[in-house]
Structure 1
Amino acid sequence: MANGQGYGGTGGYGAPPQSPHGQAPYGQNPYAQDRQARNPYAQPVPPQAYPPPQAYPPPQAYPPQHPQPAAAPPPGGFPGPAPRRNRFAVLLQFLLQWIYAPLWVLGLVLLFVVLIFADYSGGGPSSDGWLKVNRSFIPPRRLRAELTGRPEHWERYVTPVLARRIAAAEASYAAGGGEVRPDLGRVVGVRLAERLYRGLGAAGVVRLAERYGWHGVASGSDTGHVLLARHFPAPVILNAPSPQDPPAAPGTPWGPQAVRFAPLLPFVLLLQIVYVPVYGLLTCWVSRPEPDYWDRWGARWTVGPRAFYAEFTNSPAAWDRHIRRILKRDTDRPRPTTTRTPDGTLVHRIHLKRATYRGAGAHHALRIAADQGWTLDPAYTPDPTNSLRLSRPLQP
């Protein structure tokens, strides 16, 4: 046929049908042709050399995860704030303390009265914590810090407390207190209980103390307190006469001091048994700015039995015997106060008070002590009107 649909023609019934989308007949995969032949832009790709596969380390066997305890503070470090107390318990203690604190004090007074009239052998608890009512007392100024637990509130509370403790410790150093070091300097310390800085932590207290020139000290196993210290260098000795110098004039700091009226001394000796304890009980609550207040008060209002005859007669020989007797007593003590110097030498230290040499003078006492090997202690600033501190190598 002319239309190509006849028998035997190319487009007849005996030939496979043509695909409308291309020249490939049905029954054949048109995508099986060579892609390079179908894509005129295809270029032959040269073979590429790939790097060998990287060798990775074998997987590690991780231990099972368990909650780890809190890391201990580094050596020389100080712990942070302690856990807060329960607010209800704090409020309950604050309300009840106004009842049990007076009863506690009254009970202690009655206990002491009973012990005075009873045959007390001296036994009892090893700790005196039950005597200190203030340990369980919450001042109103601390109540807010206990309830809120904020560090700024605790800092506002503990700052004046720390300032008072530091001022008292430095005043104690000025009065001759402190521990003597081998370099002849002295160290004074302050100890604060945890109840005073619970929400601030020992680290916060040390930070506050550094403003005053103090530093923290490791407290070891005593985790309930923070220890602070300050080191003072050895003082420069000035205006100290030599034992070989001429005697000091009366009325000068190193010379003889005025003694009391002799006829009054017997009454002072007898009445001091009564008025000394009464005065102490009536003024025990008073805060004294001078740590050696009682030594100075006693030198004015009391007289010792050993110094009675020397002051009553005001004889140079009597004062000489009294000074030598006190020197011998302090030298022969079974447990003397000693300090080891950097070269390993043990130094023996004694403290002569004003009542020992009042009528003879500090210079005369220094001359007597020099005959026995004593010299002025270089760790203390001389204060001849109140006391005389001496030292010498400890004799075996």
Structure 2
Amino acid sequence: MSEHQGYYGGGGYGQPPQNPYGQGNPYQQPVPQQPGPYQQNPYQQPDPYQQNPYAQPVPPQPVPPQPVPPQPVPPQPGSPQPGSPQYAPPPQAPLQPAPARPAPTPSAPGGFPGPEPRRSRIAVLLQFTLQWIYAPLWIAALAALIALLLWAGGGGPSGPDSDAWLKVNRSFIPPRRLKAELTGRPEDWERYVAPILERRIRTAEAEYAAGGGDVAADLSRAVQVRLALRLYRGLGAAGVVRLAERHGWHGVVDSGDHDHVRLGRRFPAPAQVHAPGPQDPPAAPGTPWGPRPTRSALLLPFILVLQVVYVPVYCLLTFWAGRAEPDYWDRWGARWAVGPRAFWAELTGGAAAWDRHIRRILARDIRQDAARDKGPNRHAVAADGTFVRRIRINLATYRGAGAQQVLRIAAEHGWQLDPAYTPQPEVCVRLCRPDRATTPTATATA
């Protein structure tokens, strides 16, 4: 008798052993329901193999796209039974495990580089010692070269195109930076660069208040500050950006300049302030938009003659003094100087003389603005090539006529008050006019 007949046939070695999985063959007949919490067999799942394909022939069936589920594992003695708190189904490995890819981590927050490598202490000490010798010699050589150029009348030797050789301060290590260069610690560099950054930010914001900055299409203005690498080597551009964020500024990514860090801030468009239109009634004298008080007719000749002497002397004596107002010289010139072309208008005080003077200066500024590049330097070029021209007329040009008279004459040429700036008629009048850029191809064809 064969081995198969002994266990699975009618004869053999006696009664067939009991099936530990239940009575009968689970592939031929369903398992009877059990009393208690196990009303259904948790291992019984509907699959295409519920009936034994070896017991009776079945027609060929299409293979399902999903993989065959694993066969149920019977509970072993002493193992947790299904339904108990300790029971948990064994984890199944995924069919196609995907390898985990580590996420890239930037070198510094915001994409700005970190601290640069430290310089050699010997090189730093040597440069700090020798600079007290070569810096005076360098300055003396520059003075001699300038004197030679003046005496030669422009026919002497010419220097390189770059002005880096004129700025000896770039290779000068001040004593405040010496400690940061020697230690290389970020906290020492932060103590050194923080006052410099704060001073430059205050200067840039003062220039914005005086009308500086690049005007965007939405009439907002952006100002920028740039620091050289030698000022923040041990702190890194990321550290400088962190310091600038305390003042409301942000970093500007510039992939083409690795020796500087750029910081910027965008100011929203100014609030609209009421200003008289060109067709409105004339403003009263003494008001911001009306005629300003003129100087005495007896004093003007002395100012015209003496300004040739005291204006250069005052400029040389106060050239190195810090100014809170970037347009300080325009304000000072309107108060203490008089132009030769404005002399007759201010001396007589006639409306016709002031009108001719305003038209002459306005035409000159329009010609100078048209001669400038109309391309990317405008910073507000639309898709169709439209940009905005901008000019500024100072107080000395319209003192006796008033700022409203400037608006009237400018309106004849299509110019109007610039809404990107807060009006300051006691200082200047800013005008704008939309224009369209011409492409080089169109210009050549014309």
Picking from 91, 95, 105, the partner of 2:129 is: 95
Picking from 366, 369, 384, the partner of 2:425 is: 384
The answer to whether the Cα contact below 8 Å between 1:82 and 1:201 also exists between their aligned partners in 2 is yes
The answer to whether the Cα contact below 8 Å between 1:237 and 1:382 also exists between their aligned partners in 2 is no
Q: Kindly provide the CA deviation profile for residues 194-233 of structure 1, in whole angstroms up to 9, marking residues without a partner as x.
A: 1110100111101111111111112222111001111111
For residue 372 of structure 2, what is the aligned residue in structure 1? 335
For residue 26 of structure 1, what is the aligned residue in structure 2? none
For residue 434 of structure 2, what is the aligned residue in structure 1? 393
User: What letter matches 1:82 in structure 2?
Assistant: E
In structure 1, distance between residues paired with 2:165 and 2:299? 43
The answer to whether the Cα contact below 8 Å between 2:108 and 2:114 also exists between their aligned partners in 1 is no
In structure 2, distance between residues paired with 1:274 and 1:131? 29
Picking from 98, 109, 117, the partner of 2:143 is: 109
Q: 1:124 to 1:75 in 2, by over 3 A?
A: farther
Give the CA deviation at 1:395. 6.4
Q: 1:341 to 1:127 in 2, by over 3 A?
A: closer
Partner of 1:380, secondary structure, is coil
Q: Which moved more, 1:270-279 or 1:232-241?
A: 270-279
- 1:263 maps to 2:305: no
Give the CA deviation at 1:349. 1.0
Alignment of structure 1 residues 25-174 onto 2, 5 Å: 77-121=111-155, 123-174=158-209
In structure 1, distance between residues paired with 2:138 and 2:159? 18
User: What letter matches 1:373 in structure 2?
Assistant: G
In structure 2, distance between residues paired with 1:270 and 1:131? 35
Q: Kindly provide the CA deviation profile for residues 330-383 of structure 1, in whole angstroms up to 9, marking residues without a partner as x.
A: 222322774536574322111111111111111111122122221111110101
User: What letter matches 1:211 in structure 2?
Assistant: R
Q: 1:100 to 1:277 in 2, by over 3 A?
A: farther
Partner of 1:81, secondary structure, is coil
Alignment of structure 1 residues 285-296 onto 2, 5 Å: 285-296=320-331
The answer to whether the Cα contact below 8 Å between 2:249 and 2:264 also exists between their aligned partners in 1 is yes
Give the CA deviation at 1:79. 0.9
Q: 1:83 to 1:339 in 2, by over 3 A?
A: closer
In structure 1, distance between residues paired with 2:142 and 2:346? 40
In structure 2, distance between residues paired with 1:113 and 1:313? 44
TM norm structure 1: 0.77
In structure 1, distance between residues paired with 2:172 and 2:250? 28
Q: Kindly provide the CA deviation profile for residues 22-67 of structure 1, in whole angstroms up to 9, marking residues without a partner as x.
A: xxxxxxxxxxxxxxxxxxxxxxxxxxxxxxxxxxxxxxxxxxxxxx
In structure 1, distance between residues paired with 2:193 and 2:403? 43
Q: Percent identity?
A: 67
Q: 1:73 to 1:126 in 2, by over 3 A?
A: farther
Compare CA radii of gyration and give the structure with the larger one: 1
Q: Which moved more, 1:271-280 or 1:332-341?
A: 332-341
In structure 1, distance between residues paired with 2:308 and 2:137? 30
The answer to whether the Cα contact below 8 Å between 1:257 and 1:360 also exists between their aligned partners in 2 is yes
For residue 78 of structure 2, what is the aligned residue in structure 1? none
For residue 34 of structure 2, what is the aligned residue in structure 1? none
Partner of 1:212, secondary structure, is coil
Runs of at least 5 residues in structure 1 that lack an aligned partner in the other structure: 1-70
Picking from 393, 403, 409, the partner of 1:362 is: 403
The answer to whether the Cα contact below 8 Å between 2:417 and 2:432 also exists between their aligned partners in 1 is yes
In structure 2, distance between residues paired with 1:367 and 1:290? 29
The answer to whether the Cα contact below 8 Å between 2:109 and 2:238 also exists between their aligned partners in 1 is no
User: What letter matches 2:288 in structure 1?
Assistant: P
User: What letter matches 1:375 in structure 2?
Assistant: Q
User: What letter matches 1:377 in structure 2?
Assistant: D
In structure 2, distance between residues paired with 1:76 and 1:106? 45
TM norm structure 2: 0.69
For residue 4 of structure 2, what is the aligned residue in structure 1? none
Partner of 1:350, secondary structure, is strand
Q: 1:324 to 1:280 in 2, by over 3 A?
A: same
Partner of 1:392, secondary structure, is strand
Give the CA deviation at 1:121. 4.0
Q: Kindly provide the CA deviation profile for residues 256-295 of structure 1, in whole angstroms up to 9, marking residues without a partner as x.
A: 1122222333333333333322222222221111111111
The answer to whether the Cα contact below 8 Å between 1:268 and 1:303 also exists between their aligned partners in 2 is yes
In structure 1, distance between residues paired with 2:174 and 2:401? 51
Give the CA deviation at 1:169. 0.2
Q: 1:74 to 1:85 in 2, by over 3 A?
A: closer
